[in-house]
Structure 1
Amino acid sequence: MPKVTRHTLEPLHDTVIFAGGASFNVHRIIMCNCSIYFEALFCRHTACTRTHFAIPDVSAEVMEVIIDFAYTGSVTVTEDNVQQLFIAADFFIITDIVEACIKFVEENLTPENCIGVRRFAIFCPQLQHKAHFLLTNKFEEVVSSEEFLQLTWQELSDMLDSDDINVNEEKTVYEAIVRWIDHAPVHRTTYLAALLLKARLALCSIADIKSMMSNPYLRNNTQCVQIIINALQLKYRLLNATPPMTFCSNYTARPRLPNAVMFAIGGWCSTHVTNIIEVYDIRADYWLNITDHQESPRGCHGTVFHNGFIYCIGGSNGEDACNNMRKFDVKRCIWLEAAPMNHCRCYVSVAALGGFIYALGGFDGNRRLRTAERYRPEINQWSLIASMHDVRSDCGCAVFNNKIYICGGFNGKIVLQSCEFYCPKSNQWTRFADMRTRRSGNGVILYDSHIYVLGGYNGLSRLRSVEAYNPRTNEWHQRPCMSSFRSNFGIEVINNKLFVMGGYNGIDIKSFVEYYSAKTNKWSRACPMGTARCGVSCCVLSNYPNLKQYTMSRDSLPHLEGVQNLEESVRVHLQTPCTNQPDTNTDTESFSTGVLHLGPNPARCDTKIWKTLDPVDPCFLQGFVSWFGVAGLLCWGVAGREAKLVGRASSPNLLLVSKPVARLHTWTRLGRLA
């Protein structure tokens, strides 16, 4: 039987629709069945006898797609028609087409188009939310798009004001502002100071803040100069605090929210197992305790995040090895029971791959295991897979290139040096190159395209050495050692840094946390956990919509008093722009002991260029004398308690020489050279 279409039924049509300069022969009953809009249009008492209807503001191409859908029930959404088709389908109340358009846009949502989608989807909260989430989460990529350059200054200001935008360095925000200004400098420099206020400049390094003054947009704008000076002042106050601080609740040094957090769950505390759960906020360098005291304690277990749940697998309750599994719903913050494993497994290695959760080896309370099994969340069921070549417990594993790599461990007699990987496709284990060192209680993780193995116990002592396996060459290479010896510790990668936390050093259980950066090839300290633990298991929750509830409240950070708020003066500037050139008339009455002031005549501007800068960084002053010399610079040097007038800069040729001692605000020598 031939397929029935609109065209095969055309001789039987009873209505004509006009749209976009074209006419379409249709059948009322079919169009009414498709949309209540057409039902209302055709069935009004004045329309019963009409046969011709004009549809305004709909192109002929879109109208044809909608009519074809009415006859066939199928629709083809393309990049060229999706926007107009969505608008028309929403107008005609054709839900199936609207949903098809939304699905198409969601599947094709990228950092390059998310700004446009967010504007377009103003009447579709679901789509707008997804576009906004991508915009904030992939901000560094969005900045490189063409759509970014088309933002209004208010849109950009609102975007930069958000704690949610994800940037590894705040310098990225400054660079985004400059890129936006560069696109149309004549019209956009007016908004520079207002936008610069939205950057958390005190989170940048001192070198980065100083380098900003080389930008002509900033150094020729008195308000921008003041903003940078305030940021430096706050930066030095943080560094000179006791103990030194990295950030505070003051806006200029307020850390943004992370796009990933790290959970550290359970473990052993001295003589007992614990149920403590701490979450690490990497941007605030802070551990947040979210322990549910109704949950049973667990140590030497495995933890993975999969599809909105954190799974805690096996381990020990302090007396026996366990086969049970609990899962934490991160959206609802509740614990749920899940199917138990086929075997009890303490010191188990776990991994998530291809929609399955794997549990490998371990200790069942009597013997070490080489068996392995995997869990399918959709049916809540465990099933056995091929056993490993070696019996092993107390080791780690990592996923790379759709394979699970497991390294080292303990077989009940000796500490192992051997390694093997599992291929789910073939259900087979394959050996690969042995490690350089025997290790049990070691950490194993994928980082920088290598399998990293860290620390552990070699049968004689705890280790701090690190080695990395290159799967492409089947070779192991040494990496810088950790600063502390540790075994049975937590390990994870977050924000391109490899973190290790807690563990046992052979004497004590530690709370100490450090991280390794492949970029710098160095280890650095991080905030220690609130509770010292070994046998702790960790996982990372990333790119998840409700991470804020697992972060430190930014309003609870310490607030530094005496930091100037420039927002009001910049707001006035936007309403009544003042000159972008620094004034050459210096107010010589605005100086005080121990501080540096540079200010234009108060009668000519509401705010001075320089306010109190304490502590003063002489290196910073040396870098900027040549520019400020044009405006006239009066420098005061402080030696002990005595303030001395050094001289007035009358030309850019003045060179300021100084050497900081003890504290940054002490100058030992200040002079002028030709």
Structure 2
Amino acid sequence: MHDARFSPTATRLPNGKVLVAGGSGTGSNLASAELYDPRTGRWALTGSMHDGRSAATAALLPNGKVLVAGGLGDTGILASAELYNPRTGRWSVTGSMHDARFEAATTRLFDGKVLTAGGSGDTGNLASAELYNWRTGKWRTTGSMHSARSRQTLTRLDDGRVLTAGGLDSSFNPQTSAELYNPRTGTWRTTGSMHDARSHAVASLLPTGKVLVAGGGNNDVGALASAELYNPRTGTWHTTGSMHVARDFPTATLLLNCQVLVAGGGNDTGFLASAELYNPRTGTWHTTGSMHSARSGGTATLLLNGKVLAAGGSGPLSSAELYNPARF
């Protein structure tokens, strides 16, 4: 990439290119953004955001624009949000959130609205949640979670509900609890708790409808290798095979062959280059090719050709690499 970035956002556009925006650079939070073209394997700078931000959220909207919201700026935590227009390569300011937040979680609902929940705010970790309406460009508050959370997972289920799990609570301790958001009522309800407390874990919706949550950090034991599955039909979790390596702040990508690629992260040995694959049929992990660079807090994006683009990470790093599932 043109700029080294830690904790940027990455969004695959409808044309197959990948937009990487913001992140923490060398000494400042970045406003710059760039596009990766899988056809050429090259990056090109595009329009810069109005605010430099890291640990923000990003979502692709139904109209093809990209919403980036919140994050940590050089002057503090941000409530502002902006839209990237792929046709013009420019950003425009849109409605601000009601709460400034970074390290929040976001997902797009079936109706095209964007749900953003939790994160760390000016007064600590947040339980609040809000919805962005892409038609009006405005946010409105929705039901708050039962527990404050930052660095949690947020996964839209096949039935339209949204599962949040783990994260740091109001005392900044990793938690096991999980909740479900119902878009029809705008409310959350508690569901079964995970077996392990974890923050900065990764979550993937499997073709079976279950949710795989893996890795993350825990104050008592450090980085975790454990993984567990959430069953929306029963509202319960059960453990599945553990990874070969404990990983805090890795990336996870559901591949076209339905396996889950988890790569990088960190543990007490340092930042990791290793990667492994989860097989939903067997509930087991096996190691796969390692990245050329150790990465924690980087991005991983599934390309239209089935390869995975890994970019940035702790350092910060400007390097990028491609994982080819066909080679392993």
Matched position secondary structure for 1:347: coil
Structure 1 residue aligned with 2:326: none
CA contact 2:255–2:302 (8 Å) conserved in 1: yes
Instruction: Flag the structure with higher strand content.
Output: 2
Give, in whole Å, the separation in 1 of the partners of 2:248 and 2:140: 30
Structure 2, unaligned stretches of length 5 or more? 1-13, 310-328
**Aligned ranges 1:114-193 → 2 under 5 Å:** none
Structure 2 residue aligned with 1:465: 226
Structure 1 residue aligned with 2:112: 355
Give, in whole Å, the separation in 2 of the partners of 1:264 and 1:541: 13
Question: Which whole-Å deviations, capped at 9, do the CAs of 1:306-328 have from their partners, x for residues lacking one?
Answer: 22123222121355221122333
Structure 2 residue aligned with 1:486: 247
CA contact 1:422–1:429 (8 Å) conserved in 2: yes
CA contact 1:261–1:540 (8 Å) conserved in 2: no
Structure 1 pair 350–334 and aligned structure 2 pair: CA distance change class (3 A): same
Instruction: Flag the structure with higher helix content.
Output: 1
Letter paired with 2:194: M
**Aligned ranges 1:499-648 → 2 under 5 Å:** 499-506=261-268, 508-510=270-272, 514-519=276-281, 521-525=284-288, 528=291, 532-534=295-297, 536=298
Higher gyration radius (CA): 1
Give, in whole Å, the separation in 2 of the partners of 1:303 and 1:424: 19
Give, in whole Å, the separation in 2 of the partners of 1:476 and 1:361: 22
1:412 and 2:173 correspond: no
Give, in whole Å, the separation in 1 of the partners of 2:245 and 2:43: 24
Give, in whole Å, the separation in 1 of the partners of 2:267 and 2:189: 32
1:446 and 2:205 correspond: yes
Give, in whole Å, the separation in 2 of the partners of 1:409 and 1:540: 25
Question: Which whole-Å deviations, capped at 9, do the CAs of 1:69-104 have from their partners, x for residues lacking one?
Answer: xxxxxxxxxxxxxxxxxxxxxxxxxxxxxxxxxxxx
Moved more, 289-298 or 432-441: 289-298
Give, in whole Å, the separation in 2 of the partners of 1:511 and 1:289: 22
1:306 and 2:67 correspond: no
TM-score by length of 2: 0.73
Give, in whole Å, the separation in 1 of the partners of 2:26 and 2:266: 10
Letter paired with 2:233: R
Give, in whole Å, the separation in 2 of the partners of 1:301 and 1:499: 23
CA contact 2:249–2:296 (8 Å) conserved in 1: no
**Aligned ranges 1:247-262 → 2 under 5 Å:** none
Matched position secondary structure for 1:499: strand
Q: Report deviation, 1:519.
A: 5.0
Give, in whole Å, the separation in 2 of the partners of 1:464 and 1:264: 28
Structure 2 residue aligned with 1:386: 143
Give, in whole Å, the separation in 1 of the partners of 2:276 and 2:43: 19
Question: What is the number of equivalent residue pairs in this alignment?
Answer: 284
Structure 1 pair 273–408 and aligned structure 2 pair: CA distance change class (3 A): same
Structure 1 residue aligned with 2:5: none
Matched position secondary structure for 1:464: coil
Q: Report deviation, 1:369.
A: 0.7
Compare relative contact order (CA 8 Å, sep 6+) and give the higher one, 1 or 2. 2
Counterpart of 1:315 (choices 63, 68, 71) is 71
Question: Which whole-Å deviations, capped at 9, do the CAs of 1:233-256 have from their partners, x for residues lacking one?
Answer: xxxxxxxxxxxxxxxxxxxxxxxx
Q: Report deviation, 1:386.
A: 0.7
**Aligned ranges 1:420-435 → 2 under 5 Å:** 420-435=179-194
Q: Report deviation, 1:277.
A: 5.4
Structure 1 pair 382–512 and aligned structure 2 pair: CA distance change class (3 A): farther
Structure 1 pair 276–407 and aligned structure 2 pair: CA distance change class (3 A): same
Structure 1 pair 381–259 and aligned structure 2 pair: CA distance change class (3 A): closer
RMSD: 3.6
**Aligned ranges 1:267-278 → 2 under 5 Å:** 267-268=23-24, 273=29
Give, in whole Å, the separation in 2 of the partners of 1:329 and 1:463: 39
Q: Report deviation, 1:377.
A: 0.5
Matched position secondary structure for 1:417: coil
Q: Report deviation, 1:331.
A: 4.5
Q: Report deviation, 1:493.
A: 2.5
Q: Report deviation, 1:516.
A: 3.2
Give, in whole Å, the separation in 1 of the partners of 2:217 and 2:189: 24
Give, in whole Å, the separation in 2 of the partners of 1:526 and 1:272: 33
Q: Report deviation, 1:268.
A: 4.5
Residue identity over aligned pairs, in percent, reads: 21
